[in-house]
Each structure stands twice: as structure tokens, then as C-alpha cells.
Structure 1
Amino acid sequence: MYCGPAQNRAAEALHFYIDHLWVALSKHPEAEACVWCMDDFGVSWQIVPRDRGDLMQHPGAHPRMLEMKKLSIAGLRGD
């Protein structure tokens, strides 16, 4: 069974991890903006992958990120 390039599987795993952290931490939807969320204690968290700098090199990534609540790797890449 072929599941596509390993690079895509790694991105999917990272996306699931971001989703897991977001669900665990984000308790105030009204505070969600630009990949920041707020927990039950009022602490704000920015959930981004280590390679965010590389992802931000894609054309148009910065304005797309500013419109996001939760980070979308495919969205940053423009996929």
C-alpha cells in the first residue's frame, strides 16, 4: 500500500499534533486569533511548528497566517 511521499505523512502527523494541542488548550474561542489560543487559566499559547520560519517563506504565507485562528500547514503553503 502506497501512502504518498514521506514528507506528506510527516506534515499530516504534525497537523494532527497541532490539532491535539489546540483542542487541549483552547478554552476561549473568542480569544483565538493569528494562531493564538487561551487556556482555562487565561494563559495565551501560540501553537506553531518548529519549521514555521521555513513555512513562512512560501509566497503569501504571512497574510494567510494573519487570517487563521488555528494554524494550517497546507494554508501556509498555499495548497
Structure 2
Amino acid sequence: MAQVSQHLWFAKDMNAAISFYVSLIPGSTIEWVKPLPADTPSGPAGSVQLASFTLGDQRYQAIEAGPLDNFNHSFSIVLECSDQSELDRIWDALKDGGEVEQCGWLRDRWGLSWQIVPSRLGELLDDPDQEKVRRVVEAMLNMVKIDVKGLEEAAAQA
């Protein structure tokens, strides 16, 4: 059976990045990190590093092979948090040295885009009352870091 993994290309600091990610997300592990034992267009044998790791239940591979294309919004990692305290912990850690954006998005210090959202957001967006959903979406659109209490208050408005 075929297996699917996301692949990340780091210009530098791959080991630091994946070690940091694994430390933040429960159930995450680094399977292996190893140098490529052959000369490549990116450098001599041993200078290019490969890695395999999991973040939660998702498989990733990574390469550190110098600059190629920067990370951008066309690929982001969505991290669904069980509650506000987990969201706050992860948000604060990832934004350190990075850049925050609207609607729960941020770029970490390596330029990788993340969407840090509470599981409650999905529940509220799945409500059959479309007027309630509209209020929740409008509230979210005015947030940088998602605030569960603010979403709940928007949902409860009459």
C-alpha cells in the first residue's frame, strides 16, 4: 500500500526546526536524521541532511539542502487544539521569532505557515443555524490568535 507524507525543504536549521515541532505537539517523534552520502547540486556528500518524523498522527519528511523556494501560504500545517490553553501554549511557542497573521495563521521563525485553531471552531462552523455560523466567521475574521470565548460569544448573540 502506498504511504503519503508531507515534505519540507529547509534552507538551514532543519534539525532545530523539527526538534522544536516534535517538542510542541504530543505524540510526535523523529524517526531518523541522516546525511546524504553523495555529492548533490546542493553540496558535497554529507552536507545535505534528510529526516523522517511525525507530528501528531501526520508523517513528514524533510531535507536541509540550502535555499531553493521559500515556504509560502500554499502549504500550511493546520494544528487543531483541544482547548484555549493548548492553543495559547502552541501559538506562543511558534510565534517566537516568527510573524502572526489574521485568523489563527502565523509563520514560525523558519518561515513555515501554521493555522492554529481550536476544535471548537469546527463545531461552531458545523452548526445548522447559518446566522450563527456567519457571526462566528465574522468574529474569527477580526481575530489574530483565535479566542474560543470570543467565538462562543459571537455564536450566542441573538
Q: Report if aligned partners of 2:105, 2:116 keep a CA contact under 8 Å in 1.
A: yes
Question: Which ranges in structure 2 are unaligned for 5 or more consecutive residues?
Answer: 1-81
Q: Note the C-alpha offset of 1:52.
A: 2.4
Shift of 1:50: 2.8
Give ranges in structure 1 of 5+ residues lacking alignment: 1-12
- The corresponding residue for 1:38 is 107
Q: Structure 1: how far apart are the matches of 2:84 and 2:118?
A: 9
If the length of structure 1 is used for normalisation, what is the TM-score? Answer: 0.70
**Counterparts of 1:50 and 1:16 in 2: how far apart (Å)?**
12
- 1:20-39 residue pairs with structure 2 within 5 A? 20-26=89-95, 27-29=97-99, 31-39=100-108
Question: Which has a greater percent of helix?
Answer: 1
Within 5 Å, give how 1:47-58 maps onto structure 2.
47-56=116-125, 57=127
TM-score normalised according to structure 2 size: 0.38
Residue by residue, what CA displacement relative to the aligned partner does 1:12-70 show, whole Å, maximum 9, x if unpaired? x81111000001101334x4211101100001110112342212337210010011000
RMSD, aligned CA? 2.1
* Correspondence for 1:6: none
Q: Give the number of the structure with larger relative contact order, counting CA–CA contacts within 8 Å between residues 6 or more apart.
A: 1
Structure 1 residue ranges (4+ consecutive) displaced by more than 3 angstroms after TM superposition: none
Query: How far, CA to CA, are the matches of 1:51 and 1:34 in structure 2?
Result: 14
SS at match of 2:117: coil
Q: Contact between 2:102 and 2:143, CA under 8 Å: does it hold in 1?
A: yes
Amino-acid identity (%): 35
Query: How do 1:1-79 residues align onto structure 2 when only pairs under 5 Å count?
Result: 14-26=83-95, 27-29=97-99, 31-56=100-125, 57=127, 59=132, 60-78=135-153
1:68 is aligned with what amino acid?
M
**Matched pairs, number:** 66
